[in-house]
Amino acid sequence: MSDLGFGNMNTTLNSNNSGDEEKQKTKRLLIIIVAVMFILGIVAVALLVLISKGEKPTLAMNIDGVYVSPNEVYYEYDNQTEAWYFSVKGLADKLGYTYNRGGIGQSDESDSNCTIINPNGFEKVVLESNKKEIVKYYISKERTVPSQHFNIEHLIKYDTNSKKILADETAIERAFNCDISYDATTLKLSIQTLEGTLIRAYSETEPTAANNTKDYASDEIRFQNNKALLREVVVVRDLNTGLYGLKRYENGSYIDVLSTKYRNFQFIEGINKFIVQAEDGRWGIISDRGEVDVDLVYTYLFCIDIKQGLYVAGTNTGKQCVVSGASFQSTKKSKIIVPADYENIGVKGNNFNDDMLGSEYILCNALIPVQKNGKWGFYSLDGTRVVDPIYDGVGCPTAQGPVTGGRANIRGCVIIPDINAIVVQENREIPDDRGHMRLINFYGLINYKGEMKLPSDKITAIFSSTENNERTYFCGNDEQQVDVIRFWREHNLGEINYSEKENQTVNSVTNNVNTVDQQNTIDQQNTVEKNIVNSTNDTNTAQPQSIMNQAVPVIQN
């Protein structure tokens, strides 16, 4: 039988079927590709929408290795600042801190400000909304470290709806003495606290680390020195001699900084320096790099101004002096600011309840009060003697009796911050109705330059009164009182509230006392009205007559 061609025909059909299958595969692949691209497009659009709304995936947070849910500690992402914010109260409750509404002033009960107190009670931290700083007040029996201001990266926020105070990472690290690490790819954040993680970690890696209670004379010193761990500096102790030294953690190992030959160490947070005591009992200042800041020659020493690097020191003669060390503003060698001629520096020994005092050693950010032979004078922060020791006291104790005019919440007064004025005391013998002489304490006001502005001829009290969260300052006697700030302004006695003009804190930290910028002062010559008399002060500055005789608002009893 002849071949009719069916064999070739089958071959052709198979070839056509194979081509159709290839086309179908290609078509299916294109459909899959288009579908994937469509899905990716939807995801991209969704991400763009999330970003435009400032939304971020949930942050996974743990504290000392333990997961913390958003229900325990509230947190949120701020798209504008590109920073995570955390509830201060939430963290305080979680870490055992005491949380109080309001700032440091007793009359401040604002929800937008708060104070937190460390569980050991050695430190109070103030956080105020709309500020880029926090303030640490050291609740100290050792009297070695003043309060400090720390700059933070972003403004502290207050949510009016939830009444939450929210702070960023830089504020949280400083306020709670912790270390925060963050993985941006996994959105995992870890908070390591001193007591919960860091002390144990350093003790395990460095056996000589002096971080336990038994290593120190007090828990307070232990607490201060532990904070050096946050700067990767470790105080070490020789168990045989009981003496201290210093090591720094660098490149995975510990490097000796100071050998173990010191009797005492205390860390000054913010400027990374240590108050140290040598084997012979003498005190000085050494940096965390081992440089001598203030020679170890003093019988005692404590810091009164972080920014300027000022310290009150005791000498062999029993007198006090003020020395200046290298601060973060300067690397100059230490020098004497106030010579060792004074039995007292600062008003710490006086009986005041002035909650606005801030520093006992530097008043109105400018003057150091000194006492010699029972009389008080003032030095500037650069070591210039501004006022000789001529006053019988500095500050007015709590006023009582008719002089207060029946006002509420009376407090004594050392300074009036709103007008940069300092209260000084002059004692005089005055005859009574029977002709007998009796000693009366009179009070006047000097400005931050040491110039007498309100003479003390008839003023027997200067005090503050707080009502409805508003503080008012008064001066006067049992017969009448005058609103001090109103009088000061009406008679143009000097600039008002210098604190608004203070320079920004330097290198993230400064003491609550700042140097007065002399270039910003207002020329006060010819500002006093016609009724003037010469001051009894040696500055010979023109003064208004007794304010009791001035035509100003007076409240009669």
Q: Are residues 157 and 271 in the same domain?
A: no
Query: Which pLDDT band, with edges at 50, 70 and 90, does 515 fall under?
Result: very low
pTM to 2 decimals?
0.70
What is the rounded distance in angstroms from the CA atom of residue 180 to the CA atom of residue 203? 20
User: What is the number of domains present in the chain?
Assistant: 3
Domain C-terminal end among 341, 366, 394: 341
Helices (H), 482-524: 484-490
- Pick from 322, 341, 360: which residue ends a domain? 341
> Residue 394 corresponds to which amino acid?
V
Confidence band of 349 (pLDDT split at 50, 70, 90): low
pLDDT at 76: 87
AA letter at 131: K
In a domain, residue 65? The reply is yes
150: CATH: 3.30.457.10
Residue 398 covered by a domain: yes
Pairing of strands 437-447, 421-431: antiparallel
- 186 lies in the same domain as 227: no
Q: What order do you get walking across the sheet with 157-159 strand by strand? A: 75-78, 83-87, 164-168, 157-159
Based on the fold, state whether residues 366 and 507 are members of the same structural domain. yes
**Window from 389-398, 407-416, 525-534 with minimum mean pLDDT:** 525-534
pLDDT at 31: 72
Query: Within a domain: residue 228?
Result: yes
Q: Has residue 150 got a pLDDT over 80? A: yes
Q: Is the domain of 165 the same as that of 234?
A: no
The CA distance from 319 to 212, in Å, is 36
pLDDT digits (tens, 9 = 90+) for 87-102: 999 999 999 999 998 8
- For residues 526 and 395, membership in a common domain is answered with yes
Closest by CA position to 146, among listed 517, 516, 424, 514? 514
Tell me the pLDDT of the chain averaged across its residues: 78
Q: pLDDT value at position 48?
A: 56
What is the pLDDT, as a whole number, of residue 454? Answer: 83
* Bridge partners (DSSP) listed for residue 190: 62, 181
- What is the residue type of 154? H
Helix (H) or strand (E) holding 61: strand 60-63
Residue with more model confidence, 222 or 98: 98
368, part of any domain: yes
Q: 381 and 524, same structural domain? A: yes
Within a domain: residue 4?
no
CA-closest candidate to residue 495, choices 392, 420, 409, 387:
420
With respect to residue 27, please indicate whether it lies within any of the assigned structural domains: no
Domain match, 383 and 526 both: yes
258 and 334 in a common domain: yes
Give the pLDDT mean for 268-275: 87
Q: Is residue 407 in some structural domain?
A: yes
Strand partners, 253: 250
Residues 225 and 177 in one domain: no
What's the domain range around 353?
343-557
pLDDT digits (tens, 9 = 90+) for 159-186: 999 999 999 999 999 999 999 988 878 8
346 Cβ contact list (under 8 Å, min separation 6)? 304, 312, 360, 361, 368, 369
pLDDT at 378: 96
- Kindly state whether residue 28 falls inside one of the protein's structural domains: no
* Buried/exposed code over 383-403 (b: 16+ C-beta within 10 A; e: otherwise): eeebbebebbbbbbbbbeeeb
Whether 121 and 254 map to the same domain: the answer is no
Most confident listed range (17-31, 209-223, 503-517): 209-223
What confidence score (pLDDT) does residue 539 get? 35
Alpha-carbon radius of gyration of the chain: 34
- Examine the pLDDT at 45 and tell me if it is beyond 70: no
User: Are 99 and 187 in a shared domain?
Assistant: yes
Considering 296, 324, 341, which residue would you say is the last residue of a domain? 341
Alpha carbon 352 to chain centroid, angstroms: 23
Asked whether residue 374 falls in the same domain as residue 455, the answer is: yes
